[in-house]
Amino acid sequence: MDAVQELPDRELLTRHTQGDDQAFAVLVRRHRDRLWAVAVRMMGDREEASDALQDAFLSAFRSADRFRGESQVTTWLHRIVVNACHDRLRRRKARPSTPTEDDTLDVLSNDRLGRVGGGPDHASQTEARLDVHAALETLPLDQRMALTLVDMLGYRVEEAAQILDVATGTVKSRCARGRAKLLPSLAHLRNPHPPRDVTTGRGGANPS
C-alpha cells in the first residue's frame, strides 16, 4: 500500500473522484484545523462554525469532480467553507435576534460591568475579543469576510481574492471600507486617545 497520507492534495482529490474511500478523509484531516479557524472566525460561534464546516466538507465531497484544477485544492476548500459561512451569516442577518446573539450580548455587558481599571488582564482581553466580534457583526458581509480573512486571519490579499473569487482591488476596497466603519468602535482598544464618538454605552460595538 502506498502511504495515502503523503499524497499531494490534488492526487487525493482525484482518487476520491475515482472511488477511493480513504482519500477524502485524509484531505479533510490535513486541512481541517485551518478551515476550522476560518469558520470560527467567520461565524464567531463554535456551533455555527461546526455546522458550516460539516456542510462545506460534504459539499466538497460531492462536488469534487467539478474541481478543475485552476486553483489550489486548499483555495477551493476555503472557498467552499467561506461560501457556507456566508450563507449562514446572511441568514443570521435576516433574523437578527437569535439566542446565540443574546447570549453574546449578555456576556458582553457582564464583562463591561466587571471592568474597572481596564488593564491588559484576562477580562479586558475577553472584552476586546467580544468587542471585535460584535463590531464585525455590524459590517456588511462582504466587508466582514474580507477583513476576517486579511486582517484577522492574516491571509494575503491575493489569497483572499482567490478564496472570495473577486479581484484583489475588490478585497482591498472591502477591507478599507470595513476598517473605516470599524474605526469608531475599535480604535480605542489600541489607541490611548480614542476619537470622541466612542464609549457611549455600548458604542459602536452594539450589533444590529
Partner 1 sequence: MTSHPDVEALAFFAEELLEPDEERTVAHHIETCALCAATLDELTAVSGVLADVPPVPPMPQDVADLLDRRIDEAVRERAGSDDTATETGGPVAPVVPFTRPKKRGFNGMNLPRLMMLAAAGAVVVGGGGAVLNAVMSTQQESAVGGSAAPLLQEEQAEEAVPDAAQPYKPEIVGSGTDYTSKDLADQAADVLDATVPESGYGAEEEAQDGSILIEECAVSLGERLGVRFTLVDDARFEGAPAWVLFAPMGDTTEVYVVDPAGCESPDGVLEQETFTTR
Which residues contact partner 1 (rule: CB under 8 A)?
19, 21, 24-25, 28, 32-33, 36-37, 40-41, 46-47, 50-59, 61-63, 66, 80, 83-88, 90-91, 94-95, 125, 128-129, 132, 147-148, 151-152, 154, 169, 172-173, 175-177, 179-180, 182-183, 186-187, 189-191, 193, 195
Q: Which is nearer to partner 1, 62 or 118 (CB)?
A: 62
Q: What is the dihedral of CA 163, 154, 102, 203, to 10 degrees?
A: -120
Q: Which is nearer to partner 1, 107 or 176 (CB)?
A: 176
CB of 106 to partner 1, least distance (A): 20
CB of 206 to partner 1, least distance (A): 17
Question: What H or E segment, with its residue span, contains residue 28?
Answer: helix 23-43
How far apart, in whole angstroms, are the C-alpha atoms of residue 123 and residue 36? 25
Closest by Cα among 174, 171, 165 to 82: 165
CB of 27 to partner 1, least distance (A): 9
CB of 163 to partner 1, least distance (A): 13
Nine-digit cell string for 96: 437578527
How far apart, in whole angstroms, are the C-alpha atoms of residue 13 and residue 128? 40
**Helices 168-190 and 122-137 sit at what angle, rounded to 10 degrees?**
140
Q: Which is nearer to partner 1, 10 or 29 (CB)?
A: 29
CB of 192 to partner 1, least distance (A): 10
Length of the chain as a residue count: 208
Question: Are the CB atoms for 4 and 26 separated by under 8 Å?
Answer: yes
Q: Which is nearer to partner 1, 170 or 206 (CB)?
A: 170
Q: Which is nearer to partner 1, 106 or 165 (CB)?
A: 165
